[in-house]
Amino acid sequence: MKEFREESAEAISFWASLRYHIPLSTLKEGFFGLFIMSLMSLIAGVVLGMMIDVLQTLPGLFLLITPAIGMRGNIFGAMGSRLGTALHTGMFSTSLNTNSILSQNIYASMINTVLISFALGIIAWLFAVLLKIESIGIVEFVLISMIGGIISSVFVLLITVGVAVMGYKRDWDIDNISAPIITAAGDMVTLPALFLAIILIGNESSALHNILFILFAILAVLNIIVIIVSKLDNMKRIIYESIPVLLLAGVMSTAAGIIINSKLENFIAFPALLVMVPLFLEKNNALGGILTSRLSTMLHTGLFNPGMLPGKEILPNVLLIYIYSIVIFPLVGVMAFAVSLLMEIETPGLNIMVFISTTAGFIAVAIVNVIGYYIALFTYKLRLDPDNHCIPMMSSIIDTFSAVCLVGMIMVVGLI
């Protein structure tokens, strides 16, 4: 009888945890965020599908595209996660006072944007040189990254703050909606911003390029000085904790760009596959963001102590990601195909595109769940703030694995 009661208690505990972590409101908020993300990411896909000539004219550009897109989600997704934690712990306010949590997050995110955008241009160029990939020069990489990064970050910042304020006023759980919406916003504005940057600087090197490069280098140095002399402890902590992991994320996301760039001719033969790339990569990032935001909040609020193997309190969160995946990944293939028809670009067919997105997505999301848990465990054991580390680390690793899964499935169906 004692054993029966213990097992019953465990079963009740598990189902209570399941109902607690996956109420109808959570599903509604998550699907709402992911659907909005789909529409926004589709814009990025359309822009990428239209950039075929640019990709051929500016070789190696994909080495910058994937980390640039991912970095908006990394910087502002982490900001959304921090604000979500502040909401759950009752520390959030809409005050823009210099010392407020919201203001210091804004300052930190924009400084991170300047420093990391400059670094991404250099990282892309270094990879191109080391791997002997034909590419544009370091000056052009940095200019495109800086101009595109700053323009897009202004818009994503406004969206991030808007989501946090609206969640505060309407009592939303922004852990469920901030990651997909912010990730999609990064998609939607980053590619057009990069495209605009390319138009502004032109295709050929000039003395003006060198002058702009020097000015951006000075801007980066000034931001470093601001960090050193600032009295805003929370802002400094966020930046000091974020910069190393954002640099690592940039390197790993560049690897995803290298994978896609290596098969670029095949993607250009079927531009519909290019339309799918932002949709697919960022769906995985959004799902990873949802998982890590929820785990970060659970860590901050003491709802679980991570061990080497996930406990039962984690399983509902994993199940939630799979529930989202069943709907989201087939939708990626359908939406990419439909838009490709409207754009009148070459497509391998609806069935093949849905098969690729769904199969590659399910493989990738299995990796997402495992990586998400152990990144949370890693940050917890090292006494790091999971809000600052989980999303950037998750995003960069997911970018690489997602690119491998996508290219792998395209190879399986014989398109490469």
Q: What's the token pair of residue 11? A: 């079963």
- Please state the domain extents for the chain: 25-412
DSSP-based three-state secondary structure for 133 = coil
Residue matched to tokens 């491998």: 404
Q: Helix (H, G, I), strand (E, B), or coil: what is residue 313?
A: coil
Per-residue confidence (pLDDT) for residue 300, from 0 to 100:
64
pLDDT (mean) for 304-328: 78
Query: Is 90 exceeded by the pLDDT of residue 19?
Result: no
Distance between CA atoms of residues 314 and 298, nearest Å: 10
191 pLDDT above the threshold of 90: no
Average pLDDT over residues 1-25: 52
Q: Which residue has the tokens 């504005």?
A: 189
Using alpha carbons, list the distances in angstroms from residue 127 to 55, 57, 133, 224, 343: 17, 19, 8, 25, 33
Cβ–Cβ under 8 Å, residues 174 and 84: yes
Query: Among 46-60, 185-199, 340-354, 369-383, which stretch is predicted with the lowest mean pLDDT?
Result: 369-383
Cα 65 to Cα 262: distance, rounded to the nearest angstrom: 14
Q: Is the model's pLDDT at 11 over the cut of 60?
A: no
pLDDT of 86 > 50? The answer is: yes
What's the pLDDT band for 215 if we cut at 50, 70, 90? very high
d(CA 30, CA 291): 11
Instruction: Compute the distance between CA of residue 59 and CA of residue 261 in angstroms, rounded to an integer.
Output: 9
pLDDT at 320: 84
Res 228: pLDDT? 93
Q: What does the alpha-carbon distance between residue 179 and residue 285 come to, in Å, rounded to a whole number?
A: 8
Cα 388 to the center of its chain, rounded Å:
13
pLDDT value for 214: 96
Q: Is 369 helix (H, G, I), strand (E, B) or coil?
A: helix
What would the mean pLDDT of 395-400 be, rounded to a whole number? 79
pTM across the whole model: 0.77
What is the pLDDT at residue 1?
A: 39
CA angle (304 as vertex; 246, 169 as ends), nearest 5 = 70
Pairwise CA distance, residues 157 & 189, whole Å:
11
Torsion angle of C-alpha atoms 312, 383, 177, 354, degrees rounded to 10: -70
Those residues whose C-beta lies under 8 Å from the C-beta of residue 38, and which sit 6 or more positions away, are 184, 279, 283, 328, 331, 332, 335
Residues whose CB is less than 8 angstroms from the CB of residue 232 and which lie 6 or more positions away in sequence, other chains included: 98, 99, 104, 107
CB-based contact 66:138 (threshold 8 Å): no
Tell me how far apart the alpha carbons of residues 2 and 43 are, in angstroms, rounded to a whole number: 59
pLDDT digit string, tens, across residues 38-82: 787 788 888 888 888 888 888 889 899 888 887 887 888 778 777
Give the pLDDT band (50/70/90) at residue 374. Answer: confident
Q: What confidence tier does 6 reach under pLDDT thresholds 50, 70, 90?
A: very low
Higher-pLDDT residue of 3, 283: 283
d(CA 150, CA 144) in angstroms, rounded, equals 10
In 10 A of CB 287, how many CB atoms? 30
Tens of pLDDT, residue by residue over 244-299, are 888 988 898 898 889 888 888 888 888 899 899 888 987 887 788 778 777 777 77
Residue 51 has which token pair? 């950039």
Q: What is the pLDDT of residue 3?
A: 45
Highest mean pLDDT among 13-17, 31-35, 85-89, 141-145: 141-145
* Averaged pLDDT score across all residues of the chain: 82
What would the pLDDT profile of 103-122 be if each residue is shown by its tens digit? 888 999 999 999 999 999 99
CB of 286 closer than 8 Å to CB of 75: no
Token pair for 176? 């469920």
| Other CB atoms within 10 A of residue 203 CB | 11
Half-sphere exposure of 340 (CA within 13 A, CB side): 25
Among 29-43, 49-63, 88-102, 301-315, which is the least confidently predicted range?
Answer: 301-315
User: Which pLDDT tens digit goes with each residue over 329-363?
Assistant: 999 999 999 999 999 898 999 999 999 999 999 99
CA angle 92, 93, 95 (to 5 degrees): 140
Answer for the pair 184, 278: CB distance below 8 angstroms, yes or no. no
Rounded to whole angstroms, the Cα distance separating 154 from 196 reads: 15
Q: What is the pLDDT of residues 125-170, one digit of tens each?
A: 999 999 999 989 999 999 999 999 999 999 989 988 888 777 777 7
CA dihedral 153, 260, 292, 149 (to 10 degrees): -10
pLDDT band at 178 (very low <50, low <70, confident <90, very high): low
**Degrees to nearest 5, angle at CA 378 with 255 and 326:** 65
* AA letter at 339: V
pLDDT, tens only, 119-133: 999 999 999 999 999
C-alpha torsion sign, points 296, 297, 301, 305 = negative
Q: Which residue has the tokens 């959030």?
A: 92
Q: How far is CA 96 from the centre of its chain?
A: 26
Which pLDDT score is estimated for 206?
76
Average pLDDT over residues 314-332: 86
| Locus of tokens 């909401």 | 87
Q: Name which residue leads in pLDDT, 225 or 92.
A: 225
pLDDT band at 102 (very low <50, low <70, confident <90, very high): confident
pLDDT number for residue 335: 92
